[in-house]
Structure 1
């Protein structure tokens, strides 16, 4: 939701106190020293006055910014370049200001969406006061889930007049929290008007509303009209470790009366929460949005925490809640260390800023078996004699002898096929190798063929709302683990993989519904295990955001149930990050409102996301990786992804499946409920050139991308780019403050040209960067063309 600027001084969010894991973001020309005559690297709109560099007064350095507003019906804005952000990141802007005369001057922090629109509800600001001399201003806010960039804005409002001088703008950053609250902003529309998976109870009501909201499109209104009974909204339990300190925050607005409390409740393994394990804080009277904060150390035997929004027995009234979050002493600061693998631009965890660039998702190139129907559109496996409906959610792995093996789902269980080239496949045997379908395949790199108890392949399978584990030495004969008992809670779709970080471990990305109605939306939770039997408690990782929901509503404007969900997702290690392929489920009908979601109707498509830890994900671009098919195509309906990315030479391969029609759509439902019955499934192959999943594309005047600080283990910078016939790429090595390192400026760099999957950058004959003096930043300057990745090896 976007619109006009909020009134200056509307402090939707007070400055956020940050811990020692806070880092510093790089605001270009933050001290206005880049030019003595022009306000460079800031966007100036001065229809109501002027903005110019001045030499007096200054707070630091030789220059400052003088903003003069001479029009009572127009304003002046000076906006920084856009900095990349990731969802949940907390930014705090600081600036020094000196009011020369009258009343002008405000400091804003703004967040922006993937389509370039500003998130007005997330705008925060503070005014310059009447104090004399230099004064320090501070304003901070958490990046909403649909935010991809942020800006600092120096602003003189339309009604303001006067002159204010600004200097020394800085921006602090705290990475996303280690603990996330499911549906923290109440944007999940699955069970509207209920706020699932929050559990609601009491004599009043707790329902989603579209106004007022703190951020996004929805908030939770709790109404308590009974002085003899209360009302509760209880969040889903979040795993914790004894000894960590959690700080919970929630935003509220009083509509009537005065009722409402925020509870932080630690729980033991049996789910109990003694009174000494709880703490709370009450709302206070006041207008507008206000924030509650409560902290407590987790007892040594605590295994989870719940947050409760509560209206007490003796109070009545209406309170609206939004944006419930948790910070923990277990939160980690931004990790500067970077290994020797490829760093992609699928996510923005390592991107500081970019200018003159647009994001471009590269759709995969189909590579099918020409002997098969639909082979031209990528199909490599169609229906067989015993598996008329092969579907994915499995994996393709390559044996040391070069043989490809594919494990896939069928109505009968796990199918197995083999191939010498990964394109033409032969089914193994005349039936499934297991009666249970796979949830991806994780290959154990520590498999020891000489040890009879060592297993090479692992997978989960769902049954009765739980996940069970099975393993195999050869991929053909499978055996249950854990004595046939379940190993994780869950529902149906899961995806497993091997995580080589943190000493090596298995990862499972699962669904975690409540035990009963209302079930809530399909979202992603992450668990880890070193033995595939004992898993960490599932932690909420990824859900659709308001931007995703709005896209579905725009596609189905007459369908009140339209919303976005993530049906499943695998997390696959690729270079220096994990790549996720979320199955974006565009739901437009819910025949079983508040009941079994299995009949939900809609299509699904595949997108890209990236993470450093499989818990916090970044999705700056929201385009599908499969070219939009015609409705008559085999893959128009419901696409599902695999759990493996294979690199074969300079080609990356990803296998996926699709049903021809919509999920939950029977032939009798067409056309009243849906457009195309679900139909059979096939499996297909998409390919990319190495690393080329997503690009920064330079505009007509060129552009640049600057990284966050990096502490590399290597010294040789290599780039993957397509500069076309005339474009050039130069790379500058910067210090942490953004200054060029001597001898490594862009002017010292040998231009990279043409179409290259890997060119080593050089500066005046030097092909290695210094081993001391870091951390460093890299700045990629393109005259035109696409930049896909870099590595420091």
Structure 2
């Protein structure tokens, strides 16, 4: 093991001011560039060079005295000058909002020149979807006390509760002086493809212990100081004979992959602290040479500690460990653990012919004057079912008193719909608490389960997929595959007809994990996708989170990788619903992932836990309700959820879908509609009559049913124009199609689309003035310009700028 100490000499360059106090790096590793690929991409800051107007800075919001000047300038013909003559109020100039995704890292920079006095700070500010500031600490950078032009830069990881970011050039309230600013830029680095669970120490299930980290010695969560979010981890070592060690959960890696780990650290006393990167085989064994470390350095404030090395041959997992050595003593605070890998992939502008939705922000550069709106589905049930059960298509049956999904609905080549669902079967020998039921339908609304009375498999389906390689002439070819859970593993089964099932893989597990899982098929990549739970083998088990694996054949699967967990914004939402109880928790009970157009859609089952009797033990007794949101991803690993309103509106307390909602694993396109089957218990998870009597919960779990909600095609989430209209600008796009089509309901207004170069300049002939307005409510209409309805052949990626004077824009596509 090599242990070294190094400081990156930012201070040696007097005209460069970076937002990093100090950096420690292990020998042989770079400080962040070169060892792992440079994946940053430029973001389009409107009027970044202040060239659009000769007087005021167009498309910037000004508070105080700021004007455009012709000299001095760093680039172009104009720059911005701020003048602060008050010792009580400051000057602020704020850019338009850029979209920002959790885990993304933004670097803002500006060229600045001091005039009289010393008044100037560059800051990245982050904003929640409701317009309130997100919780970010220590994210500004002051100008240096030097003359001439200086480059000021600050790098920040987007906090979990943020959806947009703005660049702010400002002076402090007490500062006075004149500053000239020019050539603002923002670059973004995508969220890492490999995530350390609870990397920001924000999960609270085991508080004050750090959830999902193994602790030896004194380590606990603190709220001050923090580098990001609300919590950090403090280690205290007051012994010269014992070490403090905090170790992450294992993260899958590939031999020869290059990995870099970083952590923000602040020494509060002594000199005790090191970051370790350690590798192991699939069976947990390791070698002495399979680890690298880097010490913290004795400086004040936050420092970035980094360590990197290639993945050894035969290694399958890495762990990150932070803490102190046996002989060292002292107190250190840690925050924002981050992995970078040579396997990381940057932003990909290529687009096929599928719809681009606004569920996530992956393709959104910036917006102005529009708000994102979630549109819940319409409950579409079987009207012949008795009782007040809006949306229900499958009620209680003769043997299945509580039918529910987890499960799947598929439409077959014969035009019939097939449903696999979960239910208890007391008629089976032996009786089965979690079995697979089967039903068929000619129209997806009226279901017949009499074809196969009783359950068809003695386990609950974690989803059923059609086999794309099914060969009808082959008698051993399977038409369907099923994922199901058993003990602490997931298993596979196959069927020729959907009713007769047999275990695959000799009945041996195909994946680790337990409890609910959701499986689907990704036609874009030709792989099966499993979204599972990966609790640890022993208590404490940690929170409910979502992990992803893929398979080419449904038997051989990639090791599960963390895909999504609840964050501080989810925690705020559940606390807001239960303000009298700050101990409530937000977790993700499960999440199907579906390929839809040019993105994956996730259906996270958000679990609002109002009572957890065993937070460090079996989570099964947790009590609470669940509700369904939407998320979007380009790679199944990094998910965007800027708007977190529910997509299924529950009925009143005690109604069939009030309590605990779940969804199926498929979203079916039926004509111009999209169908999603879902289920619910009327009551709360693990709530019993006895617990109601104790005041622990209000409605007992039970009375499960299966329902259906529908949307017009693509109309899940929209951008809605405010009074006076608004705009949406995309990130660079490289479409294969030559025509742009939109899904829009402009109301009394209209939509126009402008084509821009990747640098943001309008393409002649395709400006807003050249665009023909779209005024009709339409699911799919081609956009036209004076030159016609074909896009310009620029040979390079383009951007789109949509201008909407009213109504909602739901999606766009290239054909």
For Structure 1 versus Structure 2, the TM-score category normalised by the shorter chain is: over 0.9
Greater displacement, 506-515 / 317-326: 317-326
Deviating more after overlay: 644-653 vs 290-299: 290-299
Counterpart of 1:295 in structure 2 is 308
Measure how far apart 1:681 and its partner are: 0.7
- Match of 1:440, SS state, is strand
Distance 1:178 1:512 in 2: 18
State the partner residue of 2:742: 719
Equivalence for 2:46: 28
Match of 2:482 in 1: 459
Which stretch of the first structure deviates more once superposed, 12-21 or 749-758?
12-21
2:165 counterpart residue number: 150
1:711-766 alpha-carbon deviations (Å, 9 max, x no partner):
00001100001111x21100001000111111000110100012111110000151
Contact kept in structure 1, 2:220 and 2:235, CA below 8 Å: yes
Query: What is residue 558 of structure 2 aligned with on the other side?
Result: 536
Structure 2 partner of 1:550? 572
Q: What's the counterpart of residue 329 of structure 1?
A: 342
**2: CA distance between counterparts of 1:699 and 1:209?**
41
Aligned partners of 2:136 and 2:159 also within 8 Å: no
Q: Pick from 87, 110, 117: which aligns with 1:102? A: 117
Question: 1:617 is matched with which residue?
Answer: 639
Q: Judge conservation of contact 1:561–1:587 (CA < 8 Å) in 2.
A: no
> 1:740: which partner in 2?
762
Q: Distance in 2 between matches of 1:188 and 1:137?
A: 34
Moved more, 530-539 or 34-43: 34-43
1:573 counterpart SS class: strand
SS state at 1:284 partner: coil
Q: Give the Cα–Cα distance (whole angstroms) in 2 for the partners of residues 448 and 359 of structure 1.
A: 45
**8 A Cα contact 1:14 1:139, kept in partner:** no
Quote the residue 1:495 is aligned against.
518
Match of 1:38 in 2: 56
Report the alpha carbon displacement of residue 13 of structure 1 after superposing the two structures with TM: 7.0
2:705 to 678, 682, 685: 682
Q: C-alpha distance in 2, partners of 1:607/1:229?
A: 46
How big is the shift at 1:72?
0.6
Does 256-265 or 536-545 show the bigger shift?
A: 256-265
Map 1:422-461 → 2, pairs under 5 A: 422-427=444-449, 428-461=451-484
| Paired residues of 1:12 and 1:124 also in contact (CA < 8 A) | no
Q: Say if 1:274 and 1:404 are closer, same or farther in 2 by CA, change over 3 A.
A: same
In structure 2, how many angstroms separate the alpha carbons of the residues matched to 1:233 and 1:479? 44
Corresponding residue for 2:194?
179
Aligned partner (choices 259, 262, 265) of residue 272 of structure 2: 259
Q: Which residue of structure 1 lines up, in the alignment, with residue 438 of structure 2?
A: 416
Q: Which residue of 1 aligns with 2:248?
A: 235
**Correspondence for 1:521 among 543, 551, 558:** 543
1:6 match: none
Q: Is the 8 A contact 2:749 2:805 kept in 1?
A: yes
What is the distance in 2 between the residues matched to 1:374 and 1:188?
Answer: 42
| SS of 2:784 mapped into structure 1 | coil
Check the 8 A contact 1:262/1:294 in 2, yes or no: yes
CA shift, 1:473, in A, is: 2.0
The SS at the match of 2:462 is: coil
Structure 2 residue aligned with 1:5: none
The one-character-per-residue Cα deviations of 1:105-145 (angstroms, maximum 9, x if unpaired) are 11111222233222242451212123222111111111123
Return structure 1 stretches of 4+ with deviation > 3 angstroms: 9-19, 373-376
Shift of 1:637: 0.7
Is 1:392 aligned to residue 375 of structure 2? no
1:775 maps to: 797
After superposition, give the CA deviation of every residue in 1:554-599 in whole Å (9 maximum; x if it has no partner). 2223334311000000000111001111000001111123110000
- How does 1:244-283 map onto structure 2 within 5 Å? 244-283=257-296
For each residue in 1:151-202, what CA deviation from the matched residue of structure 2 results, as whole angstroms up to 9, or x when unmatched?
111111111111111111111111111111111011111122221211112x
- Asked if the contact 1:126–1:139 (Cα under 8 Å) also holds between the matched residues in 2, the reply is yes
Q: Which of 105, 113, 117 does residue 128 from structure 2 map onto? A: 113
Bigger drift between 571-580 and 222-231 goes to: 222-231
Equivalent residue for 2:732?
Answer: 709
Shift of 1:701: 1.1
1:207 correspondence with 2:220: yes
Structure 1 residues 13 and 602: alpha-carbon distance in aligned structure 2, compared to 1, 3 A threshold: farther
Q: Which residue of 1 aligns with 2:73?
A: 58
Q: 2:493 aligns with which of 445, 470, 476?
A: 470
Matched, 1:135 2:158: no
Q: 2: CA distance between counterparts of 1:120 and 1:462?
A: 39
* 2:605 paired residue number: 583
Q: Within 1, Cα distance between the matches of 2:102 and 2:213?
A: 21
The alpha-carbon deviation at position 374 of structure 1 amounts to 5.3
Are the counterparts in 1 of residues 364 and 729 from structure 2 also a CA contact under 8 Å?
yes
**8 Å CA contact 2:633, 2:639 repeated in 1:** yes
Shift of 1:534: 0.8
Q: Does 1:642 align with 2:664?
A: yes
CA offset digits 1:596-631 (Å, max 9, x no partner): 000011110000000111111000101001124211
Q: Secondary structure at the match of 2:506?
A: helix
SS of structure 2 residue aligned to 1:653: strand
* Count of aligned residue pairs for this structure pair: 778
Partner of 2:534: 512
Q: 1:722 to 1:124 in 2, by over 3 A?
A: same
Structure 1 residue 375 displacement after superposition: 6.3
Aligned residue in 1 for 2:677: 655
Q: Show the counterpart of 2:6.
A: none
Distance across 2 between alignment mates of 1:471 and 1:750: 53
CA contact (8 A) 2:56 2:66 kept: no
Is the 1:490–1:511 contact (alpha carbons within 8 Å) kept by the matching residues of 2? yes
SS of the residue 1:496 aligns to? strand
Normalising by the residue count of structure 2, what TM-score does the alignment of the two structures yield? 0.93
C-alpha offsets along residues 484-509 of structure 1, whole Å, 9 cap, x if unaligned? 0001000111000001233x100000
TM-aligned CA deviation for residue 10 of structure 1: 11
- Cα distance in 1 for partners of 2:407, 2:22 equals 47
Question: Hey, what does 2:28 align to over in structure 1?
Answer: none
> How many Å separate the matches in 2 of 1:452 and 1:14?
66
- Whether the 8 Å CA contact 1:346–1:693 is kept in 2: the answer is yes
SS of the residue 1:341 aligns to: coil
Deviation of residue 284 (structure 1)?
A: 2.1
In the alignment, the residues of structure 1 paired with residue 398 and residue 588 of structure 2 have an alpha-carbon distance, to the nearest angstrom, of 32
Q: Is the contact between residue 10 and residue 124 of structure 1 (CA under 8 Å) also seen in structure 2?
A: no
TM superposition shift of 1:11: 4.4
- Is the contact made by 1:180 and 1:238 (CA closer than 8 Å) also made in structure 2? yes
Report the counterpart of residue 179 of structure 2 in structure 1.
164
Structure 1 gaps of 5+ residues are 1-8
User: Given that residues 99 and 163 in structure 1 are in contact (C-alpha distance below 8 angstroms), is that contact kept between their aligned partners in structure 2?
Assistant: yes
Q: Distance in 1 between matches of 2:137 and 2:413?
A: 52
Determine if contact 1:599/1:664 at 8 Å carries over to the other structure.
yes
Change (3 A) 1:391 1:90: same
When residues 14 and 137 of structure 1 are mapped into structure 2, their CA distance, relative to the original with a 3 A threshold, is farther
Query: How far 1:21 sits from its partner (Å)?
Result: 2.1
C-alpha separation in 2, matches of 1:478 and 1:768? 51
2:570 is paired with a residue of what secondary structure?
helix
| Contact 1:369–1:376 (8 Å) recurs in 2 | no
Calculate the TM-score normalised by the size of structure 1: 0.96
Match of 2:14 in 1: none
Secondary structure of the residue aligned to 1:748 is: coil
**Contact 1:733–1:776 (CA under 8 A) maintained in structure 2:** yes
